[in-house]
Amino acid sequence: MSGVFFWQAQQEYRKLHDLELANRQKLQEAQLRLREQEKILDRLRTDPAYVERVIRQRLGYAKPDEFIFRIRE
């Protein structure tokens, strides 16, 4: 009887250990994404040329003397 209990406890421990490893991996990935986003946010706050490039790329803005050609495939 105690052998069955020990076996069940060991199985539960393995499951929890595997879950912990998976959660640690997810946490590391989330921390990496956060650091990358913080770098982007810092550049948006401090680098006007970067802000201009982002606005042009994402929103399709142009200077008054420029033309934007959009080609649909």
pLDDT tens track, the chain, 73 positions: 778 888 899 999 999 999 999 999 999 999 999 999 999 999 999 999 999 999 988 888 888 888 887 788 8
Contacts of 61 (CB under 8 A, 6+ apart): 55
Considering its fold, how many domains does the chain have in total?
A: 1
Residue 72 located in a structural domain: no
Residue 9 located in a structural domain: yes
Say if pTM beats, i.e. exceeds, 0.75. no
Packing angle between helix 48-59 and helix 2-46, nearest 10 degrees?
110
Residue 70 located in a structural domain: no
Residue 11 located in a structural domain: yes
For residue 8, what are the domain limits? 2-59
Residue 8 located in a structural domain: yes
Task: Return the residue matching tokens 């393995």.
Answer: 14
Residue 49 located in a structural domain: yes
Using CA atoms, how far apart are residues 54 and 50, in angstroms rounded to an integer? 6
Residue 67 located in a structural domain: no
Residue 47 located in a structural domain: yes
